[in-house]
Amino acid sequence: MTNETMNIREMCDTFGVTPRTLRFYETKELLFPIREGQKRLFTRRDRARLKLILRGKRFGFSLEDIRQLLDLYHMNDGQEAQLSRSYELAKSHLADMEAQKAELEDAIAEMKEQMAWGENRLAELARKKGAAA
Amino acid sequence: MTNETMNIREMCDTFGVTPRTLRFYETKELLFPIREGQKRLFTRRDRARLKLILRGKRFGFSLEDIRQLLDLYHMNDGQEAQLSRSYELAKSHLADMEAQKAELEDAIAEMKEQMAWGENRLAELARKKGAAA
DNA sequence: AGCAAAGCTGACGTTAACGTAAACGTAACG
DNA sequence: CGTTACGTTTACGTTAACGTCAGCTTTGCT
C-alpha cells in the first residue's frame, strides 16, 4: 500500500517542490503535516491537498484563494454557514474556470491561425532560398 | 470609424487598466505609443497588442513570455531566423495551453463533483432543520 | 565518541508587476 | 491670470511566493 506518511524529502521528490515550499505552505495553513519529534510527516491528506494546490497555481489562483477552496474538499463536519460559504466560493471559481476555458479555446484557435501564417511565410522563404541556389 | 489613436485615459477606460500599467508596459517594450509632444498616443496596433497581453496574463504567462510571443503576431518583415524562433516559441506555448486546457477540464469536472457533494450535505442539513421546527 | 547528512527555525534577500507620491509641464476655462 | 485637470518623469514602496543563509538538533554510521 501507498505509505501512510512521507517525510519532507519524499514529498519534494514526488511533487517537484523544495522543502522551503512545503514549510511555507504549512505556515500559510495549506498543509498540516504531523510531527514526529521535530520532523514533519506528511499524510495522505497532505498529499491530496498539495496536488490540488499545485493544480490551482497552474490556473493562476492565489494561495489564499486555494486555501479557502481546500475547505470545500476537506470539510467533513463543517457547520452549515461555513459549508455554504465554501460552496458559494467554489461556484464563483467554477465560473472563473469555465470562462477561462472558453477564452483558452479562443486563444488556441488564434494561435493556430498565426502559426499557420508563420508556416506559410517560412515555406515561402524556403522556396526563395531554394530558387537562389 | 474606430479612432485612429487613443490617449492614455481612453485606453485605461477601454481596457480597465491604470496609466501606470500602460507606462510600465511601454518601458518593458510591450507597447509603442507614439508621442504628440510629451503625450502618448496609442495606435490600433497598441490596442491589439494590449488585448493579447491581458489575455496572456490571464493564462499565467509572464510579461516577458508575452513580449516574445507578440513578435509572432506582429512580424511583418521578420528575418527567417527570427520568424522561425518565434514559431518554435509559439509551438511550445500552444502545447502549454492545450495541456492547460486538458487539466482545466479535469479540474472543472472534479470541482463539479465536490459541489454536488456539498449540495447534498446542505440539503441534508436543511432537512434536519426543517424536521426540528 | 566523532562526524556528516537531513531537518528545523528564524531572518533577510529576491523577482515580477505594478502602486503611490513628489515635482513639474501645459492646456483649457472662467 | 490663476487654478483645475490631465499628463509626464523619477523614484521609492508593496505584495506574493518563495530563495538563501546561518546556526542549532537529531539521526545514522563507523
Residue A43 CA distance to nucleotide C2 C1' (Å): 35
**pLDDT at A78 (0 to 100):** 60
Residue A1 pLDDT > 60: no
Confidence (pLDDT) at A133? 56
Using a 10 angstrom Cβ sphere, with 0-12 exposed, 13-18 middle and 19 or more buried, the burial of residue B4 is exposed
Model confidence band, residue A2 (pLDDT cutoffs 50, 70, 90): low
Under the banding of pLDDT at 50, 70 and 90, the label for residue A124 is confident
A97 contacts in B (CB within 8 Å)?
104, 107-108, 111
Per CATH, domain B1-61 is 3.40.50.360:
no
Distance from CA of B112 to the nearest CA of A (A): 8
Average pLDDT value for residue range A86-107 = 90
User: Quick one: average pLDDT of A56-74?
Assistant: 86
Mean pLDDT of A73-82: 72
**B35/chain A closest Cα distance in angstroms:** 30
Q: What is the pLDDT of residue A118?
A: 86
Q: What average pLDDT does range A47-60 have in this prediction?
A: 91
Asked if B115 contacts A91 with a C-beta cutoff of 8 angstroms, the reply is: yes
Res. A90: pLDDT tops 70: yes
Nearest nucleotide from residue B39 CA, by C1' atom: D7
What kind of architecture, by CATH, is found in domain A8-132?
Orthogonal Bundle (1.10)
Cα of B92 vs its chain's centroid, Å: 17
Listed by number, the residues of chain B in 32-71 with a beta carbon closer than 8 Å to a beta carbon of chain A are 55, 58-60
Query: What does each of the 133 residues of chain B score in pLDDT, given as a tens digit?
Result: 456 899 999 999 999 999 999 999 999 999 999 999 899 999 999 999 999 999 999 888 899 989 988 877 776 666 788 888 888 888 988 998 999 899 999 999 989 998 998 899 889 888 877 776 5
Distance of CA A49 to the CA centre of its chain: 11
Residue of A nearest to B95 (CA): A108
What does the pLDDT read at residue B2?
Answer: 56
**Are the Cβ atoms of B101 and A98 closer than 8 angstroms?**
no
